[in-house]
Chains A and B, each alone.
Chain A
Amino acid sequence: MFCSKKKSLEVERIVKANDREYNEKFQYADNRIHTSKYNILTFLPINLFEQFQRVANAYFLFLLILQLIPEISSLTWFTTIVPLVLVITMTAVKDATDDYFRHKSDNQVNNRLSEVLIDSKLQNEKWMNVKVGDVIKLENNQFVAADLLLLSSSEPHGLCYIETAELDGETNLKVRHALSVTSELGADFSRLAKFDGPDTKLMQNSGKTKFKRTSIDKLLNTLVLWIFGFLVCLGIILAIGNSIWENQVGDQFRTFLFWNEREKNSVFSGFLTFWSYIIILNTVVPISLYVSMEVIRLGHSYFINWDRKMYYSGKSTPAEARTTTLNEELGQIEYVFSDKTGTLTQNIMTFKKCSINGKIYGEVPEGMGQKTDIPKKNEPMDFSVNLQADRTFQFFDHRLMESVKLGDSKVYEFLRLLALCHTVMSEENSAGQLIYQVQSPDEGALVTAARNFGFIFKSRTPDTITVEELGTLVTYQLLAFLDFNNIRKRMSVIVRNPEGQIKLYSKGADTILFEKLHPSNEDLLTLTTDHLSEFAGEGLRTLAIAYRDLDDKYFKEWHKMLEDANTLKDERDERIAGLYEEIERDLMLLGATAVEDKLQEGVTETIASLSLANIKIWVLTGDKQETAINIGYACNMLTDDMNDVFIVAGNTAVEVREELRKAKENLFGQNRSSSNGHVVFEKQQLELDSVVEETITGDYALIINGHSLAHALESDVKNDLLELACMCKTVVCCRVTPLQKAQVVELVRNYRNAVTLAIGDGANDVSMIKSAHIGVGISGQEGLQAVLASDYSFAQFRYLQRLLLVHGRWSYFRMCKFLGYFFYKNFAFTLVHFWFGFFCGFSAQTVYDQWFITLFNIVYTSLPVLAMGIFDQDVSDQNSMDYPQLYKPGQLNLLFNKRQFFICMAHGIYTSLALFFIPYGAFYNVAGEDGQHIADYQSFAVTMATSLVIVVSVQIALDTSYWTVINHVFIWGSIATYFSILFTMHSNGIFGIFPNQFPFVGNVRHSLTQKCIWLVILLTTVASVVPVVIVRFLKMDLCPTLSDQIRQRQKAQKKARPLRSRRPQTRRSSSRRSGYAFAHQEGYGELITSGKNMRAKNPPLTSGLEKTLYNSTSWIENFCKKTTDTVSCFSQDKTVKL
């Protein structure tokens, strides 16, 4: 058997089934899956190589090499190597752990068992040992870990149903046909392995995910560059200083200070000094910055994983931060792009209400005060009397059942219509329960409703429909099926009941159907319209229901015409449509149904809260416009209070452009639109936008469909679209392809410079999840693709609120504080060397002990700032949720930006000045209490180092707004550690062992026992901190931010916090709006009338192995059971050309 496939590189692949020796000739890849990067031997070299590819690490390596040059070396080698080794070890450990888990999951997949035909026997074989060309037997519900070719299956026609959830996230079953030649061969799922291991489609498509960076990261890169520039400037200043000094002073000082042969030239000396200072001052960007950021983000990620309030017990799914590098970006989101189905909605339709003959049924018990007369209003109806009822169906209005019992004919007709006019297929499962296979969930809801009220749709054949009407089986003859399509927006069936009456039952959009009504319906029409508006106002999906009695003769004529039309070659569709129009008139209105596309829990509140946080939510859905709009209303994104809702639905570029122009005119008024040509430069455009944005009052919404979007995304209209869309409070894009979703995200991302978040659950959201700054996947569903592509995942849309407003906000807040402090600390620490340079002949002499420089960033000051970066909270999580406005500073980038950086820098410079010049003044002529000199270099160094540690500790104490035990331990612990290490390193013992490394022996004992040293330290600390306290206090006192106010209030009301319900439920005014929405697709009517999708009662036996399982009820069940134990009758000598 040969199997060939066109591939770009590999033109064809020749495989002989079940012939391993033959196939081995081609050296196809084996089926082992490798996602791991290292093994034990290669780990060290590969990992180190990778790590030194990072700029920061390479830079520090470069510094290390510089330090080895004795003329330049201003620091001992260990000051750089200790942090570098620490950082590299930490990263290596992290990489190793990651890789260990990859190994584990690889092994899990590789070791799954499959049944392979080897030596004419089925043998269990691990998937990793499956070879190209093997014949594999698969049973129901087995995992498939290779690309396979279906040879035959136990289903008729060689069909098999596969789930591709792990590939594309779609949970529905897809049909695959076996090749007709091979399908006859066996009754089992026998498949041929085609591509293995790394060649599988999944592995080939899995591609590297784009590396995402946060805007803070980008800002940081810029800042680090600036700092390098600054560093170079300082280096140049000091190098010039050195040249001058060597020339003016050093030249004469030669008596005591030798000159190296090579350094005789003062310019060359300046050059060497430059590098020496680069080494000393490199601590402005310490290597620990990046590591600390990673640690903080990791901590935040764990907090997300640990959050019980984001744990969904329904599916026992906790939230998961799948990326640990993006957390603070969550605090800066401006645009949220959401999928609809499965994200905003549960994809469950429930029959909520109906209006039958002018009477409304099914009021929701809560919130409807006037209906108090309903007995037991809060209890759902008990359908247990009806044995066939669907247990999960809930309905709260008992009056409908009473009407059924009373025998209201209109109600009967209504329910009968629901049971007849649909495309549902019925089956019975093994327990004898009726199961409906539905094509659109709306229909499922309607048919199920009818079922529970006693009109049970039992079964159908191509020409009959059997319904159990209140216990009696009635079979209707299906005379015609007038299928649904998007233009008609309705569907009808024409049936003949056992009494011989012909009836047309129709359901469809109210707008369409109401035009077709018989004039006598006028009264009922007004009433029903009111009801429909009410339904629409509640965001329910409505359908109008009507029927028509047809007389036999008329129908026959019509049917004849229909048959004639069907045979026509041209204009067939038009003719048929005309005929449909013709018969669907003079309808008698029965009422209307209202189906709820069930929103996920808390969606409305979440959206409201996010809008208050100034986050714009765009819905991108593949659904139809009506459905999308409906959901928009259901979750309060669209309201009737909106000034205008622009709908762009043009089919050509010109139309779209015109529609956009009109919308803009409407928005800005005439004067602006004329000035706004398409050639305006983007920059100007954006400026204009910001001006205009403020002048626009009122809420607008934009609804655009996929076709229009395709045109609107073209370059010249793009800006108009963007401008318009960003002006609108709500944007809904419907019928968009996955690619378009990504394009829309890219558009906003690139042209608005805004931080975007995309949330979705399905494979069609993957592209958008990948292209947004942050991708969120709804987990706990069957499909994994969206989750796999996402950065964060959780089970319910409502957790987005907590993710952004609490975790995101905190992460951003903490990261900004961390960065601010970190830069401050290192400027204060490092710039002292700069000032000292002016007093030591620009010789690159360090101010501090070498050990202090080594340990300052990694031991003395790392933990307090980490604790702040991980644990700090300005306001509690509850307040973060209650005041979504707190989110705005993140969007505006207020907490850490270039300005803030300069403030930190200025603060650091000020502190370094205080740190240097106060001891300088004090040491100028100082003598100790015992008269001995203390103005020596070592005492100076210790004084300054101690002052620095105390000043930065006080500063972090001021910065920390949430002092947990950990903060206390770290801050006090750091100071204690500093002193204990100081004492150790200045002790006699350690000097005795390494006299050259610890020359500071005895310094603490002599210096830190002097009162005046402590007076200097106290003075330095107060002088460094006082200005900060003043500025902060004045800010807090005179113009407190919202966060400050809430903090004060939080403190005041720590004990008794009043519970406030913040969001007033906006009751929509019930202006006329059609709530019609229907997730139905064209073409199913034909399938039904032709009977193609129905299982034949007596299937032709394709092989003797077929067992008589067809009496079993469910066709889905069938294929599950029918994997027989017999081996397929493949034999090696059978050769088939494929």
Chain B
Amino acid sequence: MAMNYNAKDEVDGGPQCPPGGPAKNRRPDNTAFKQQRLPAWQPILTAGTVLPTFFIIGLIFIPIGIGIFVTSNNIREIEIDYTGTDPSSPCNKCLSPNATPCYCTINFTLEQSFEGNVFMYYGLSNFYQNHRRYVKSRDDSQLNGDSSALLNPSKECEPYRRNEDKPIAPCGAIANSMFNDTLELFLVGNESYPTPIPLKKKGIAWWTDKNVKFRNPSGGESLKERFKGTTKPVNWVKPVYMLDSEPDNNGFINEDFIVWMRTAALPTFRKLYRLIERKSDLHPTLPAGRYYLNITYNYPVHSFDGRKRMILSTISWMGGKNPFLGIAYIAIGSISFLLGVVLLVINHKYRNSSNTADITI
């Protein structure tokens, strides 16, 4: 092994001729980014930052929680189950499927008067509006008034897509299962005859739903002509163009229909049914007293252990009655405050003075 001992060569690095041509300056750029020296904020969880945060969370959350809780408790709400499973219930007679149409009346008393706008909901339980097969069984194009989708609904609507060789409008399981009980409210006053409470059926749907998402098909003079060539959903009594007498609340833009089509998140849900608007500042919208509810009982829920309820409720700045949120806020606020105290104690008692002392390796 012969080696060319010439220290000079070694120092110079020998003849440098990289194959790629003359060596360019390969020194990396001295930028903060490339050298990983970007200026940076380096937060650390210290007692100084964490403990105050906990106290602040506590101090903010507890009042919010109390506020929500009080507000929620001040909301008047009454819930009336009219399913009729209880044999003593007036609606019990309507459980048998052959009793159609079936009418029943339920009496109830409001202990306190309901002030301001009152909202009338219907509530269903054990109704799986969030089932996948149910949720997807609709055709938004058709509901948006698309004429081709009207006559040729999406496959998602199967098996409620066509009936007797005609396309169903509106197609799908959601529309097919639309809630169709009629609820009427009467105040039994001191007078001998009861006063019907005016129920407003418009203004219960979202603006976007009513004006953007749902549209009647275009063309034809009358609504009936526009829906020509389609047939009604199997379960429906009337076709879609006969849902209401008013033209701006008929067809796909019928608000009861729109509300129903906005499927619920959970199997127990409420949907807005009617508005009871405040008449004047002087009189409560629903004064305390005896009322009765007239029900046209069409909607079968007994077969799947469902429940039907009628709810009357006022609302507050944060919406309807909702005890959960207030309690949750109070709970989390308190926990966080308590933790703040506990951590403070721990920090004082057990912390080894490592922050100031020299680093022990």
Known contacts: A1001-B208, A1005-B208. The answer to whether A308 contacts B328 by CB under 8 A is no
A439 to B4, CA, bound (A): 8
The digit string for B241-278, where 1 denotes a CB below 8 A from any CB of A, is 00000000000000000010011111111111001000
Q: Evaluate contact between A316 and B140: CB separation under 8 angstroms.
A: no
Q: Chain A contacts of B132 at CB under 8 A?
A: 74, 276, 840, 843-845
Measured CB to CB, the nearest residue on chain B to A1047 is: B44
Q: Evaluate contact between B8 and A391: CB separation under 8 angstroms.
A: yes
A346 to B10, CA, bound (A): 9
Known contacts: A922-B324, A996-B141, A1023-B332. The answer to whether A933 contacts B319 by CB under 8 A is no
A1132 to B236, CA, bound (A): 102
The digit string for B1-34, where 1 denotes a CB below 8 A from any CB of A, is 1111111101101101001100101111110001
Q: Evaluate contact between B173 and A173: CB separation under 8 angstroms.
A: no
Q: Which of B13, B140, B143 contacts A315 (CB 8 A)?
A: B13
Known contacts: A927-B270, A936-B262, A1037-B47. The answer to whether A841 contacts B212 by CB under 8 A is no
The digit string for B350-361, where 1 denotes a CB below 8 A from any CB of A, is 111011000111
Q: Chain A contacts of B275 at CB under 8 A?
A: 931
Q: Evaluate contact between B3 and A780: CB separation under 8 angstroms.
A: no
Known contacts: A257-B128, A933-B121, A988-B212. The answer to whether A1026 contacts B3 by CB under 8 A is no
Whether A195 is near chain B, meaning CB under 8 Å from some CB there, is no
Q: Chain A contacts of B209 at CB under 8 A?
A: 1002
Whether B279 is near chain A, meaning CB under 8 Å from some CB there, is no
A143 to B19, CA, bound (A): 10
The digit string for A791-830, where 1 denotes a CB below 8 A from any CB of B, is 0000000000000000000000000000000000000000
Whether B320 is near chain A, meaning CB under 8 Å from some CB there, is yes
The digit string for B58-83, where 1 denotes a CB below 8 A from any CB of A, is 00010010001000000000000000
Known contacts: A436-B6, A927-B319, A1002-B209. The answer to whether A1022 contacts B336 by CB under 8 A is yes
Q: Chain A contacts of B2 at CB under 8 A?
A: 172-173, 437, 439, 1093
Interface residues of B in 37-95 (CB under 8 A from A): 38-47, 50, 53-54, 57, 61, 64, 68
- Central interface residue in B29, B117, B262, by most chain A CB within 10 Å: B262
Q: How many A-B pairs fall under 8 Å by CB?
A: 347
Q: Evaluate contact between B208 and A933: CB separation under 8 angstroms.
A: no
Whether B193 is near chain A, meaning CB under 8 Å from some CB there, is no
Whether A925 is near chain B, meaning CB under 8 Å from some CB there, is yes
Q: Chain B contacts of A313 at CB under 8 A?
A: 27
Stretch at the interface among B105-113, B163-171, B281-289, B300-308: B300-308
Q: Evaluate contact between A1016 and B325: CB separation under 8 angstroms.
A: yes
Known contacts: A317-B26, A996-B140. The answer to whether A437 contacts B265 by CB under 8 A is no
Interface residues of B in 188-218 (CB under 8 A from A): 204-209, 212-213
Whether B160 is near chain A, meaning CB under 8 Å from some CB there, is yes
Interface residues of B in 280-330 (CB under 8 A from A): 300, 303-305, 313, 315, 317-322, 324-325, 328-329
Q: Chain B contacts of A934 at CB under 8 A?
A: 319
Q: How far is the CB of B152 from chain A (nearest CB, A)?
A: 13
Interface residues of A in 291-308 (CB under 8 A from B): 302-303, 305-308
Whether A999 is near chain B, meaning CB under 8 Å from some CB there, is yes
Whether B114 is near chain A, meaning CB under 8 Å from some CB there, is no
Q: Evaluate contact between A931 and B212: CB separation under 8 angstroms.
A: no
Q: Chain B contacts of A311 at CB under 8 A?
A: 26-28
- Central interface residue in B10, B328, B332, by most chain A CB within 10 Å: B328
Q: Evaluate contact between A922 and B322: CB separation under 8 angstroms.
A: yes
Whether B147 is near chain A, meaning CB under 8 Å from some CB there, is no
Whether A252 is near chain B, meaning CB under 8 Å from some CB there, is yes
Q: Evaluate contact between A1002 and B1: CB separation under 8 angstroms.
A: no
Whether A923 is near chain B, meaning CB under 8 Å from some CB there, is yes
Q: Chain B contacts of A1019 at CB under 8 A?
A: 325, 328-329, 332
Q: Which of B14, B38, B262, B350 contacts A964 (CB 8 A)?
A: B38
Q: Evaluate contact between A1012 and B318: CB separation under 8 angstroms.
A: yes
Q: How far is the CB of B138 from chain A (nearest CB, A)?
A: 8
A1065 to B321, CA, bound (A): 76
Q: Evaluate contact between B208 and A258: CB separation under 8 angstroms.
A: no
Count of chain B residues near A, Cβ 8 A: 121
Whether A947 is near chain B, meaning CB under 8 Å from some CB there, is no
A172 to B121, CA, bound (A): 94
Q: Which of A308, A424, A940, A962 contacts B265 (CB 8 A)?
A: A940
Interface residues of A in 353-398 (CB under 8 A from B): 390-393
Q: Evaluate contact between A255 and B39: CB separation under 8 angstroms.
A: no
Measured CB to CB, the nearest residue on chain B to A251 is: B304
Q: Evaluate contact between A308 and B13: CB separation under 8 angstroms.
A: no
A313 to B28, CA, bound (A): 11
Q: Chain A contacts of B321 at CB under 8 A?
A: 925, 927
Whether B133 is near chain A, meaning CB under 8 Å from some CB there, is yes
Interface residues of A in 958-1004 (CB under 8 A from B): 961-967, 988, 991-992, 995-996, 999, 1001-1002
Measured CB to CB, the nearest residue on chain B to A930 is: B315
Measured CB to CB, the nearest residue on chain B to A315 is: B13
Q: Evaluate contact between B159 and A258: CB separation under 8 angstroms.
A: yes
Known contacts: A937-B263, A1012-B318, A1029-B50. The answer to whether A995 contacts B144 by CB under 8 A is yes
Q: Which of B4, B34, B36, B154 contacts A1116 (CB 8 A)?
A: B4
Q: Evaluate contact between A439 and B1: CB separation under 8 angstroms.
A: yes
Q: Evaluate contact between B328 and A918: CB separation under 8 angstroms.
A: yes
Whether B35 is near chain A, meaning CB under 8 Å from some CB there, is yes
- Central interface residue in A303, A311, A885, A1022, by most chain B CB within 10 Å: A1022
Whether B186 is near chain A, meaning CB under 8 Å from some CB there, is no
Q: Which of A173, A1011, A1049, A1093 contacts B318 (CB 8 A)?
A: A1011
Whether B131 is near chain A, meaning CB under 8 Å from some CB there, is yes
Known contacts: A108-B19, A927-B313. The answer to whether A932 contacts B206 by CB under 8 A is yes
Known contacts: A318-B27, A1006-B206. The answer to whether A995 contacts B361 by CB under 8 A is no
Measured CB to CB, the nearest residue on chain A to B41 is: A963
Whether B119 is near chain A, meaning CB under 8 Å from some CB there, is yes
Q: Chain A contacts of B359 at CB under 8 A?
A: 883, 1042, 1045-1046, 1049
Q: Which of B27, B129, B266 contacts A308 (CB 8 A)?
A: B27
Whether B182 is near chain A, meaning CB under 8 Å from some CB there, is no
Whether A1048 is near chain B, meaning CB under 8 Å from some CB there, is yes
Whether A1032 is near chain B, meaning CB under 8 Å from some CB there, is yes
Whether A414 is near chain B, meaning CB under 8 Å from some CB there, is no
Q: Evaluate contact between B5 and A441: CB separation under 8 angstroms.
A: yes
Q: Evaluate contact between B346 and A1037: CB separation under 8 angstroms.
A: yes
Whether A855 is near chain B, meaning CB under 8 Å from some CB there, is no
Q: Which of A348, A920, A1022, A1049 contacts B332 (CB 8 A)?
A: A1022
Q: Chain A contacts of B121 at CB under 8 A?
A: 927, 933
Q: Chain B contacts of A1081 at CB under 8 A?
A: 1
Whether B103 is near chain A, meaning CB under 8 Å from some CB there, is no
Whether B130 is near chain A, meaning CB under 8 Å from some CB there, is yes
- Central interface residue in B3, B38, B270, by most chain A CB within 10 Å: B3
Measured CB to CB, the nearest residue on chain A to B50 is: A1033
A180 to B139, CA, bound (A): 91
Q: Evaluate contact between A306 and B5: CB separation under 8 angstroms.
A: no
Q: Chain B contacts of A438 at CB under 8 A?
A: 3, 5
A142 to B36, CA, bound (A): 42
Measured CB to CB, the nearest residue on chain B to A304 is: B28
Q: How far is the CB of A419 from chain B (nearest CB, A)?
A: 15
A756 to B68, CA, bound (A): 61
Whether A746 is near chain B, meaning CB under 8 Å from some CB there, is no
The digit string for A145-158, where 1 denotes a CB below 8 A from any CB of B, is 00000000000000
Q: Chain A contacts of B328 at CB under 8 A?
A: 918, 921-922, 1019
Whether A939 is near chain B, meaning CB under 8 Å from some CB there, is yes
Q: List 11 A-B contacts (CB under 8 A).
A: A108-B20, A348-B7, A845-B132, A924-B266, A927-B313, A927-B319, A929-B317, A931-B275, A1002-B207, A1002-B213, A1006-B206
- Which 5 pairs, one residue from A and one from B, show the smallest C-beta to C-beta distance? A1002-B208, A927-B320, A940-B265, A444-B5, A256-B177
New contact pairs (10) apart from A172-B1, A258-B160, A938-B262, CB-CB < 8 Å:
A173-B2, A318-B26, A877-B36, A920-B266, A924-B268, A927-B313, A929-B317, A963-B41, A1001-B213, A1049-B359
